[in-house]
Amino acid sequence: MSPDLPASVQIREVGPRDGFQNEPETIATADKIDLINQLVRTGLNRIELTSFVRADVLPQLSDAPEVLAGVDVPEGVSRSVLVPNERGLENAFKSREHFEEIGVFLSASETHNKKNVNRTCEESMAAIQKMVPRALADGIEVEAVIATSFGCPYEGHIDPERVFGFVRQLIDAGAQEVGFGDTTGMANPVQVGRFFTEAIARFGDEVLLTAHFHNTRGQGLANAVAALQAGCTSFESSFGELGGCPVPAGATGNIATEDLLSLLHEMGVETGVDLPKVLDASRSVAKILGRSLGSHTLVAGPVDWQ
């Protein structure tokens, strides 16, 4: 292992939420439950299961309570749900026994935030500042995600200082983890390396910092390496490279969990995750969807030096 790299990292699987919500097909609830039951037995110990959003906005996730109640998650696997607003949090509380973490979010870009949730960034932050203490008081851990942290398709470059200003507010609100989303795949490795070096220097002693890259322009794994070299030890990815972003068109999926695992394992970075079992789950979802997926390792298989 290179002395410049962390010895180990943790991965949160986001395919059942970030992946399923952006697929054109609505996956049957029973199939979702089966796929999640496969994923939680791969060694992944953090998984984002669903989101409490309006059914008319994201019908793909309208079965959130049924999915949460139906999955069989082993001890030691932390279950997370995304809540877009105060009403989403209220609905999530109705299934409180089925999760340990919530994710809240806003965009660094005013335009993207408005298009995504029909709120200004200030309005989204005000809601988060109300939701986080409520969740913490009920023993729920909180990740706050800043979308378009590295660039916006509407506004272009996003000043890192703007993002870091949001980080400060989120930490002050009580967030225990802050994720940086390259929501439409606009980041490059040099930018990512500089960004995470500064973010870790400023906030790394206060909060877990997580990298969330999309592979829209084929740079997702290169960006993951840049974040890793800067000291990032927490990543989010989606099995099969499922997902994308509802706005704008053409924002394709997250980096594939199996591609990230293959990369890390080849570089000697421990994850505690069984790559062949993740590949089995990706084969299962490809069969359900009836089409090939973007994952490279799913096609080529893991490297075998024997």
Catalytic positions, written as ranges: 245
3-state secondary structure of 152: strand
Could you tell me which of 268, 296, 288, 238 has the C-alpha nearest to residue 44? Answer: 238
* Residues in contact with 164: Cβ distance below 8 Å, sequence separation at least 6, in sequence order: 198, 199, 202, 203
φ/ψ region of 53 (left if φ > 0, alpha if ψ in -120 to 50, else beta) reads beta
Instruction: In whole angstroms, give the CA distance from residue 171 to residue 203.
Output: 9
CA geometry: angle at 295 spanning 211 and 150, to 5°? 30
The neighbouring-strand residues paired with 212 are: 181, 236
Cα separation of 65 and 96, whole Å?
10
Token pair 């084929």 is at which residue? 218
